[in-house]
Structure 1
C-alpha cells in the first residue's frame, strides 16, 4: 500500500501570526508534525503543501518534500482542507504518482505521536471506514451549555437538561485537530471527512490541544513538557 502524508501549512495565519513555523520546544512547530510522520515509517512520501517560501524551506530542512507550491485558489482564508488535499492529489496524479491512502497531518499538532498515526492507519486499512481521525471528549456535557447575550445574561441552550445529571448525559466529542486518514476517492469527492463511514480514535485530553490563541499555545507547551518530563 502506497501512503502519502500531506501537511498543509499556509503562510497567512491571522490569529497567531506565522503560527506554522513559530518555535515550539526548540523547533518550528511544523517540524514536530514532519518528524512524527517520518518516524512512523508509514509513508512513501511526506510533503508540505504551502504558499510560503519560508515555510517551504523549513519543511525541507525538517525532511519533508515541497514539490510544488499551492495555487492562489487554495491559499486564501476561504479554501477548505478538502480543496487543498484534492489539489495535492491531482498534482501528484499529473506526475504519474498514485497513492492508496492519504493522511492529512495538521502542522500545529506537536502532541501527535507515531503510535497514534499507526493506530489510525491500521484502522483505516481494515476497510470498514471512508476516513479515520482522532477525537477528544468535551470536558463538560454539551447538553448543559449556556449562551450569553449582549447584556451578559445567560440562558441554557437546552433548558430541558437543567436538572439532568452529568453522568446521565451522552458524551460528546470534538475533533482533536491532528490527522485525517482517507482514500484518494474520499478526498476527491469533496465531502467532509466527518461524513460517510468516519472512524474515530479517542485521545486523552493530554494528547491533544487546539492552538488558536496564545493561551492554547501555552497549554500545548505545558502538555508537551509534561510528556517529555513526566516527573
Structure 2
C-alpha cells in the first residue's frame, strides 16, 4: 500500500518577519494552519515538521504534527533551497526504516490552503503519472509588457515589440503560489529537484493564496482569510 508523508518546512531563522513561522495569525501560530489542513485532508500517513528550532518543534507537536528528528545545520541556512531539505527528510526516514512513495511539502506560511486542493493535486499526480503538482497563480497583467526602471526612475520596456500588442493576445503566464508541492518521493531523490519536465500546475484564484514576505503581505493574508471565513459562515 502506498505511503504518503507531509513535510512542513519551518526553520527558525526569519529576518524580514521575526519568528515568522510561529507568529500569531488570526488567533493561532501560522504554522498551525499548515498542520491542520494536512491532518484534515486525511490523505497522509504522517504529518511532520522539519525544523532546526526547539520552540517551533514544540508548537508543531502541540498542533498534532510529529518531529521525529531535527533539521541539520547544513539544511537550515538562508540560502538552502527546498529540495535538499526534503531529500534530507526522506533519507532520515529511510534510516528509521520508513519509506514513502509520495511526499507533500507544505510551507508553514500557507494559512489560505484548503484540503480540497491537496486532494485534487494528489489525484492529478497519480492520474497523470507525474513527478510533481503544485499550485499556481496567473499573473494579473502580461509579463511580456513589463518595464525595467533604472536608478533615476527612468523606465523602458523589456520587450518593446509588445508595446502595441493587445494584452489579450499575449500568452498567459503563471507564478508559483508558494503553498505546497505534491511529489513522487523516489523521483525527488533521483533528480534532486522540485520541478521536472513532468510537472503540472494547479490553478488557484487570487483569494486562495498570498505570498508572505513582509508585514503588508501578512495583513493581506489575514484580510483574505477573514473575508473567506465570513463568506462561509
Fold-level match, TM-score > 0.5?
A: yes
Partner of 1:133: 134
List runs of 5+ in structure 1 lacking aligned partners.
none
Tell whether 2:11 aligns with 1:13: no
Tell whether 2:150 aligns with 1:149: yes
CA RMSD of aligned residues (A): 1.0
Greater than 6 Å deviation, 4+ residue runs: none
Provide the C-alpha distance between the structure 2 equivalents of 1:188 and 1:149, rounded to a whole number of angstroms. Answer: 42
TM-score w.r.t. structure 2 length?
A: 0.97
* Worse-superposed segment, 31-40 or 122-131: 122-131
Are the equivalent residues in 1 in contact too, given 2:101–2:186 (CA < 8 A)? Answer: no
TM-score w.r.t. structure 1 length?
A: 0.98
Are the equivalent residues in 2 in contact too, given 1:83–1:190 (CA < 8 A)? Answer: no
Partner of 2:211: 210
Partner of 2:25: 24
Provide the C-alpha distance between the structure 2 equivalents of 1:218 and 1:102, rounded to a whole number of angstroms. Answer: 30
Partner of 2:183: 182
Are the equivalent residues in 1 in contact too, given 2:131–2:183 (CA < 8 A)? Answer: yes
Partner of 2:54: 53
Q: What SS does structure 1 have at the residue aligned with 2:186?
A: helix
Provide the C-alpha distance between the structure 1 equivalents of 2:197 and 2:166, rounded to a whole number of angstroms. Answer: 32
Are the equivalent residues in 2 in contact too, given 1:82–1:190 (CA < 8 A)? Answer: no
Deviation at 1:195, TM superposition (A): 2.1
Deviation at 1:10, TM superposition (A): 0.7
- After superposition, the C-alpha distances for 1:34-53 in whole angstroms (9 at most, x for unaligned) are 00000000000000000000
Matches within 5 A, 1:48-127: 48-127=49-128
Partner of 1:44: 45
List runs of 5+ in structure 2 lacking aligned partners.
none
Provide the C-alpha distance between the structure 2 equivalents of 1:163 and 1:92, rounded to a whole number of angstroms. Answer: 55
Partner of 1:161: 162
Are the equivalent residues in 1 in contact too, given 2:87–2:192 (CA < 8 A)? Answer: no
Deviation at 1:125, TM superposition (A): 1.4
Provide the C-alpha distance between the structure 1 equivalents of 2:67 and 2:33, rounded to a whole number of angstroms. Answer: 16
Number of equivalent positions = 231
Are the equivalent residues in 2 in contact too, given 1:211–1:220 (CA < 8 A)? Answer: yes
Are the equivalent residues in 2 in contact too, given 1:21–1:55 (CA < 8 A)? Answer: yes
Partner of 1:225: 226
Deviation at 1:196, TM superposition (A): 1.9
